[in-house]
A and B are shown apart, each in its own frame.
Chain A
Amino acid sequence: QKEVEQNSGPLSVPEGAIASLNCTYSDRGSQSFFWYRQYSGKSPELIMSIYSNGDKEDGRFTAQLNKASQYVSLLIRDSQPSDSATYLCAVKVLVIQGAQKLVFGQGTRLTINP
């Protein structure tokens, strides 16, 4: 089982609709979760971070975390063509000797259709 799993897509959503991106993870001890957006040919940029169960809202973006079910999701309201990108889910996992590392999913490619 992969440590962080995402549906690779592509996910197509009409402009103005809600885009829903999902991610599951295997390490029950993980405490920090991140969503990055990556445009083609560019580097990942942070969209949201979430550390507690529940919802966290920032503008049109809402991150949702459910540690019991080991999933984290990202909702994008009022989707715009400029939201078209690959969205990377990242989870901090514990390695030996207390160190942590960030593990990325393969990313979901999102296309917003005008």
Chain B
Amino acid sequence: ETGVTQTPRHLVMGMTNKKSLKCEQHLGHNAMYWYKQSAKKPLELMFVYNFKEQTENNSVPSRFSPECPNSSHLFLHLHTLQPEDSALYLCASSQDRDSQGTQYFGPGTRLLVL
């Protein structure tokens, strides 16, 4: 799906590392989202940005720090992660947070924390 891109696609990091995930959408949307998908668990919403403003932080630990410099780009900064943070991290975008519009997902970043 080229509408929403994510880099890197795979990431292995130690618990003391600092890394960042990047998401870019080319759909002209105004809302962007970070989700976490762990094995055998439903997709968990982490953060929501609507018109560049963070509107939701779903009780996410502070070792995850989002950044949204504009409506097309979204970052997730990672530091001092734990092995249980290993998961697929998905970015999504939609027209805006409150419309009926569909959310479109990027390909995800598969993260492994050692």
Instruction: Report whether A101 and B56 are in contact in the complex, using a CB–CB cutoff of 8 Å.
Output: yes
Instruction: Report whether A99 and B97 are in contact in the complex, using a CB–CB cutoff of 8 Å.
Output: yes
CA gap between A104 and B42 in the complex, in Å:
6
Q: Does A43 contact B (CB under 8 A)?
A: yes
Which parts of A34-69 form the interface with B (CB within 8 Å)? 34, 36, 41-46, 49, 51
14 further A-B pairs in the complex, CB-CB below 8 A; given A100-B98, A101-B48? A34-B102, A34-B103, A36-B105, A43-B88, A43-B90, A43-B107, A43-B108, A44-B105, A95-B56, A101-B56, A101-B97, A102-B103, A103-B45, A104-B42
Q: Which residues of A contact B110 (CB under 8 A)?
A: 41
Which parts of B85-103 form the interface with A (CB within 8 Å)? 88, 90, 97-98, 100, 102-103
Cβ-neighbour of A101 out of B42, B45, B102, B105 (below 8 A): B45
* Chain B residues packing against A (C-beta within 8 Å): 1, 40-43, 45, 48, 55-56, 88, 90, 97-98, 100, 102-108, 110
What's the least CB distance linking B70 to chain A, in Å?
Answer: 21
Instruction: Report whether A43 and B106 are in contact in the complex, using a CB–CB cutoff of 8 Å.
Output: yes
Q: List 17 A-B contacts (CB under 8 A).
A: A34-B102, A41-B110, A42-B108, A43-B90, A43-B107, A44-B43, A44-B90, A45-B1, A46-B104, A49-B102, A88-B43, A98-B98, A99-B97, A99-B98, A102-B103, A103-B45, A107-B42
Q: Which residues of A contact B43 (CB under 8 A)?
A: 44, 88, 104
CA gap between A36 and B104 in the complex, in Å:
10
Instruction: Report whether B102 and A45 are in contact in the complex, using a CB–CB cutoff of 8 Å.
Output: no
* Chain A residues packing against B (C-beta within 8 Å): 4, 31-32, 34, 36, 41-46, 49, 51, 88, 90, 92, 95, 98-107
